[in-house]
Amino acid sequence: MNRICIYPKDIQRITGKSERQCRNIIAKIKEESNKQKHQAVTLEELCDYLGIPQNGLQSFLK
Q: What is the pLDDT of residues 22-46, one digit of tens each?
A: 999 999 999 999 999 999 999 999 9
User: What sign does the CA torsion over 35, 6, 43, 50 have?
Assistant: positive
Residue type, 43: L
- Strand runs labelled E in the chain: 5-6, 41-42
Q: What is the pLDDT of residues 1-24, one digit of tens each?
A: 577 899 999 999 989 999 999 999
pTM, to two decimals: 0.87
Residue type, 44: E
Helices (runs of H) and strands (runs of E) counted in the chain: 4, 2
